Amino acid sequence: MKTIFFIRHAKSSWDQPGLSDRERPLNERGLRDAPFMAKMLAGKGFRLDHIVSSPATRAFTTAGYFAQAFGIPQEQIEVNREIYEAWPNEIMRIVQQLPDEYNTVAIFGHNPTFTTMANHFASQFLDYLPTCGIARVEADISSWKQLNEESGKLVEIFFPKQFAR
């Protein structure tokens, strides 16, 4: 069994117009939602074997909160430059190239690609994966190379507004 979490970065800031898109940090809401969602997911008893992140500051910062919640050193987060501005087929290729020793992986990136990825595996159409939204896909496979729309199934979606705080 393999589990992949497609996690959209938390809410980012537009307060510094001189920053490039890759450098935009999380805003106040993002800085609140990312650690909350990380602790929520860890509290559900999931275990992460590996974390892969877009190089964008907002995605990597979000991934850092999840790494902390799961007891993974931040320096072990794999940064994959291809995730930034990737098309869904590129994300699928990245996932299919994961080492098979990892059974549960979280990948951090961006919309609209991550909504599309969730819909590849969904039985019902998802309009939009919100910021810091988590799409959990499970597949009864032994190798990541076997992951495709038929073998994987979207089994759960979490997003910050689901939880009263």
pLDDT tens, position by position, 36-64: 999 999 999 999 999 999 999 999 999 99
Q: How far is it, in rounded angstroms, from Cα 138 to Cα 150?
A: 11
CATH number of 2-14+21-162: 3.40.50.1240
Residue 165 confidence class, pLDDT cut points 50, 70, 90: low
As a whole number of angstroms, the distance between CA 121 and CA 137 comes to 7
Tokens 């994961």 sit on residue: 98
Average pLDDT, the chain: 96
Rounded Cα gap, residues 43 and 159, in angstroms:
15
> pLDDT of 126-153, one tens digit each?
999 999 999 999 999 999 999 999 999 9
Q: Does the predicted TM-score (pTM) go above 0.85?
A: yes
Domain-wise residue ranges, the chain: 2-14+21-162
- Residue type at position 18: G
Does residue 70 surpass a pLDDT of 80?
yes
63 φ/ψ angles, rounded to the nearest 5 degrees: -60, -35
Rounded Cα distance between 12 and 9, Å, is 8
Alpha helices per DSSP H over the chain? 28-43, 57-69, 88-96, 113-121
